[in-house]
Amino acid sequence: MTHVLDDLDARGLIAHSTDRDALRAELSEGPITYYVGFDPTAPSLHIGNLLQILTARRLQLAGHKPLMLVGGSTGLIGDPKEAGERVMNPKETVGEWVDNIREQVSRFVELGGDNGATIVNNLDWTAGLSTIDFLRDIGKHFPVNRMLARDVVSSRLESGISYTEFSYVLLQSLDYLELHRRHGCVLQTGGSDQWGNITAGVELVRRADGHKVHALATPLITKADGTKFGKTEAGTVWLDPGLTSPYAFYQSWIQAEDSKVIEYLRQFTFLALDEIAAIEAEHVEKPGLRAAQRRLAAEVTTLVHGQDETTAAELASRALFGRAELAELSESTLAAALREAGAVDLSAADRPTVVDAFVAAGLADSKSAARRAVADGGAYVNNERVSDPDLELADGLLHGKWAVLRKGKRSISGVSVS
């Protein structure tokens, strides 16, 4: 059986680790307890966080016990950013986000069994901690010169950094110490951008308790141009379907670049590596089929939103281009698909025509261009070719308000008429 570290390595999921040989030996001796943390600085986690959740799940499947930490206290402060000081959110808002994120992470790990996950909140051990005790027991272990040398701190010294954000590393390090003492935790995982905070926790456990613990960081996931993965033109890709619809989520994976799609398959799916190798061979031979992207989108959307939403997204993708019946789409799926395609709102009182709709939706630069598209046979409404440019949209609207517009084979948009 493949050792979990070898599997993580083969999937490109190890960017940094403390003493890897010692970690391998400890993982091999028997189940260990490990943790990964998430700060509630937004109402939902995003696909960058998903990589950390799935890494935790891989370790659990290998027999180890996860602690999924939601930062009720660290979320009140926020990890310092190079761009500038964070805006602090109200305590009530952070409390609501803690509940949201606790529910999200709970769906990806097993909560029962011998190695069932435990959801923990660092507010439990910081809420009653006095400033004097914090400074005496924790602060004394952190040399200021080393804190000043941290990249994110040094980059902010000229523009300014508050003591609040400067001290964030102490709070996150305290998490590791508390989880080590309370649960016997000996491994923290996280993203490579957190490596300084993670290793500070390792050092605190050594200084405070004299124990050796471990750390492992996944790489920053990027696009081919080096920019951060997980952003689209519409913004961050969230795990909450209310913030990023399942259809938009599915499409974000469909749009994966050819040069990166196999890497994402290794990192974000539980497909066996030999199966991914077979997908890669097909992808190299026939990249135009985009079979790798479709498999990636299906696997990850099912993980996050379930099979029904994946089926609906696949159906919508086919239906918009005339390869399935639009009438089979639920209104929520159709609306999400058309909003993602740039749908606009029109007033029924204006009695919009096909020409009006094509111009409003950006499929034609002018009414004369829209008329030419109709005359050339390249204008479609709800996948039906249109021959009359002055045809009003009032009849035949899907779910009483939506019209799918298509110019030629590939240019899609839509309108909502109300």
For residue 233, pLDDT over 70 is answered with no
Give the per-residue pLDDT at 257.
Answer: 95
For 111-125, the pLDDT digits (tens) are 999 999 999 999 999
Give the per-residue pLDDT at 5.
Answer: 97
Indicate the DSSP class of residue 386.
-
Give the per-residue pLDDT at 119.
Answer: 97
Give the per-residue pLDDT at 153.
Answer: 74
For residue 368, pLDDT over 90 is answered with yes
Give the per-residue pLDDT at 202.
Answer: 97
For residue 85, pLDDT over 80 is answered with no
Per-residue tokens: 338: 């058309």
Q: Mean of the pLDDT values across residues 322-338?
A: 89
**Position with higher pLDDT, 2 vs 100:** 100
Are the CB atoms for 189 and 17 separated by under 8 Å?
Answer: no
Q: Mean of the pLDDT values across residues 201-221?
A: 96
**Position with higher pLDDT, 334 vs 165:** 334
Task: Quickly state the pLDDT bin for 163 (edges 50, 70, 90).
Answer: confident
Per-residue tokens: 98: 């803690």
Give the per-residue pLDDT at 396.
Answer: 81
CB atoms within 10 A of CB 86: 16
Q: Mean of the pLDDT values across residues 299-323?
A: 94
Q: What is the mean pLDDT of the chain?
A: 92
- Please state whether the predicted TM-score (pTM) of the whole model is above 0.85: yes
> Of 407, 385, 383, 403, which Cα lies nearest the Cα of 393?
403
Give the per-residue pLDDT at 12.
Answer: 97
For 11-65, the pLDDT digits (tens) are 999 999 999 999 999 999 989 999 999 999 999 999 999 999 999 999 999 999 9
Taking CA atoms, 133 is separated from 51, 176, 280, 357, in Å, by 35, 17, 55, 66
* Nearest-10 crossing angle of helices 246-254, 307-320: 70
Are the CB atoms for 36 and 228 separated by under 8 Å?
Answer: no
Give the per-residue pLDDT at 410.
Answer: 82
* Spatial distance between the Cα atoms of 57 and 66, rounded to a whole number of angstroms: 8
Give the per-residue pLDDT at 84.
Answer: 66
Alpha-carbon dihedral sign for residues 176, 178, 180, 183: negative
Per-residue tokens: 363: 């499929």
Give the per-residue pLDDT at 166.
Answer: 83
**Position with higher pLDDT, 240 vs 392:** 240
For the chain, give the percent of residues with pLDDT over 70.
98
Name 74's Cβ contacts closer than 8 Å, sequence gap at least 6: 37, 39, 122, 168, 171, 172, 175
Q: Mean of the pLDDT values across residues 87-98?
A: 92
Q: Mean of the pLDDT values across residues 371-397?
A: 90
Number of residues in the chain: 418
